[in-house]
Structure 1
Amino acid sequence: MFSPFSAPSGSAAKNLTRLSVVGGIAATALLLLAGPASAHVSVQPQGEAAKGGYATINFKVPNERDDASTVKVEVNFPTDHPLASVSPQAVPGWKIDVTKSKLAKPLEMHGNTITEAVSKVTWTAAGSKIAPGYFQQFPLSVGQLPEDADQLVFKAIQTYDNKEVVRWIEEPKEGAAEPENPAPVLKLSAAGDDEHGGAADKHAAEPAAAQVGAKAADTATGTASADSSDTTARVLGIVGIVVGVAGVAYGVLAGRRRTTA
């Protein structure tokens, strides 16, 4: 008769080992699925963002909630390295407000004295939202980028239609773990040889921004669809693994019942 305290037979031991391996695979797959679920507001240049030059940059805003849509995005500009020239690209279904503030210390740009700079850009939904499972890009043409900095930190605030507010304002520290709500960081490349530091000229950057804006909606929808399909495939794969685990477990239990009998 089978005793619960006796060592399992060779066949049962193999089944138990197989069950452990399959269970471990299932647990690993679940972790892999959960890993990419976390996303945050980020900023990336179109091409280069060279020191001393102009660039077109995109703020990428994913919707992280399953039951709410993003209806407002605020991006605060760094005060230690103010940007005097900021031109937003129109985004269909979104109202754009550009806020300027007086500078404590005026800037010299192309022979002109600049006494104010953009301190915040706000996008507010006006007929459109960022729905669950989607993201939206918000392009800007900016300059003149500082020559004495390696990066610019932008603090962003994301508002959902259920009144939830997420503050992406924590500055990442080199060598430290990523904070829970990291602020978008724009990395600056080395200046080039031309008069604008190797980056695109302001007049070249603005048409680039227009091209980015014209394709932003299609890019967002296409990428979101791809991400959704990828997630669906992973979920179906994990369901298959879990069903397999259940089948192996049932086989082991059935074998034990036959042995007992």
Structure 2
Amino acid sequence: MLKKFATALLCTAACLSNAQAHITLEQKSAVSGTSYKSIFRVGHGCDGSPTTNITVFLPEGFVGAKPMPKAGWKLDIKTEKLDKPYLSHGKPVSERAAQFSWSGGRLLDAEYDEFVIAVTVPESAGKRWIRVLQQCEKGQNDWAEIPVEGQEKPRFPAALLDIVPAAPVAGHEHHH
């Protein structure tokens, strides 16, 4: 009985480390036009070297982003002007936070951490690829490649978010 349990545990650890080989989003989908908490999971360094900097590049259409600060890391936010300002709480907004960098920390290869940005996702549904640049004491991993159907999986795929259409508003049913 105990032996079986130990084997299962062993697989969990090994199988997990395998699955965490990329920078991925914890929640893989979001409803269009809604607020979404993007949690970027960093499961390893660069070929064993500790991670010292994570930069997330939010694609166009992602607005109102607010990163979660992390103890021991310095946070930098780069903004960019919007082609079309939009209204937020009745006020026009003409720029957006587009790039977030956490630096100065040290995440060992054997450790795991999460970097979080709350953001409003675009109104249009579909797959969005989010580039994440991981810099380490030695080397870097640029998670920017977009897989192409029928081709070999890229070594450094960008994080994928699937934006799903909002459900139509209910209210036409008869309640008894």
The TM-score range, normalised by the shorter chain, is: 0.7 to 0.9
Counterparts of residues 54-65 of structure 1 (less than 5 Å): 54-65=35-46
Cα distance in 1, alignment partners of residues 37 and 148 from structure 2: 25
Give the gaps of 5 or more residues in structure 1: 1-31, 195-261
| Residue in structure 2 matching 1:150, options 104, 126, 143 | 126
| Residue in structure 2 matching 1:85, options 42, 52, 64 | 64
Deviation, structure 1 residue 36? 2.4
* Percent identity of equivalent pairs: 26
Cα distance in 2, alignment partners of residues 193 and 75 from structure 1: 32
* Cα root mean square deviation, aligned: 2.6
Q: Provide the residue aligned with 2:81 in structure 1.
A: 102
Deviation, structure 1 residue 159? 0.6
Deviation, structure 1 residue 171? 1.3
Counterparts of residues 22-171 of structure 1 (less than 5 Å): 36=18, 39-45=21-27, 49-65=30-46, 67-79=48-60, 81=61, 83-125=62-104, 128-143=105-120, 145-162=121-138, 164-171=139-146
Deviation, structure 1 residue 116? 0.8
Cα distance in 2, alignment partners of residues 147 and 175 from structure 1: 29
Q: Provide the residue aligned with 1:181 in structure 2.
A: 156
Cα distance in 2, alignment partners of residues 104 and 188 from structure 1: 22
Give the gaps of 5 or more residues in structure 2: 1-13, 170-176
Q: Aligned in 2, Cα 1:116/1:65: closer, same or farther, shift over 3 Å?
A: closer
Deviation, structure 1 residue 117? 1.1
Cα distance in 1, alignment partners of residues 127 and 74 from structure 2: 28
Cα distance in 2, alignment partners of residues 183 and 55 from structure 1: 18
| Residue in structure 2 matching 1:192, options 160, 167, 170 | 167
**How many residue pairs were aligned?**
155
Q: Aligned in 2, Cα 1:84/1:159: closer, same or farther, shift over 3 Å?
A: same
Q: Aligned in 2, Cα 1:38/1:192: closer, same or farther, shift over 3 Å?
A: closer
**Structure 2 SS opposite 1:45:** coil
Deviation, structure 1 residue 184? 0.8
Which has the larger Rg? 1
Q: Aligned in 2, Cα 1:159/1:186: closer, same or farther, shift over 3 Å?
A: same
Answer 1 or 2: which has greater strand percent: 2
Given that 1:99 and 1:118 are in contact with CA atoms closer than 8 Å, whether structure 2 keeps it comes out as yes
Match of 2:156, as an amino acid? N
Cα distance in 2, alignment partners of residues 146 and 66 from structure 1: 35
Q: Provide the residue aligned with 1:228 in structure 2.
A: none
**Structure 2 SS opposite 1:129:** strand
Match of 2:71, as an amino acid? P
Given that 2:55 and 2:101 are in contact with CA atoms closer than 8 Å, whether structure 1 keeps it comes out as yes
Q: Aligned in 2, Cα 1:173/1:44: closer, same or farther, shift over 3 Å?
A: farther
Cα distance in 1, alignment partners of residues 74 and 47 from structure 2: 24
Match of 2:141, as an amino acid? V
Deviation, structure 1 residue 135? 1.7
Please give the TM-score of this superposition, normalised by the length of structure 2: 0.76
Answer 1 or 2: which has greater helix percent: 1
Match of 1:40, as an amino acid? H
Deviation, structure 1 residue 99? 1.1
Match of 1:132, as an amino acid? D
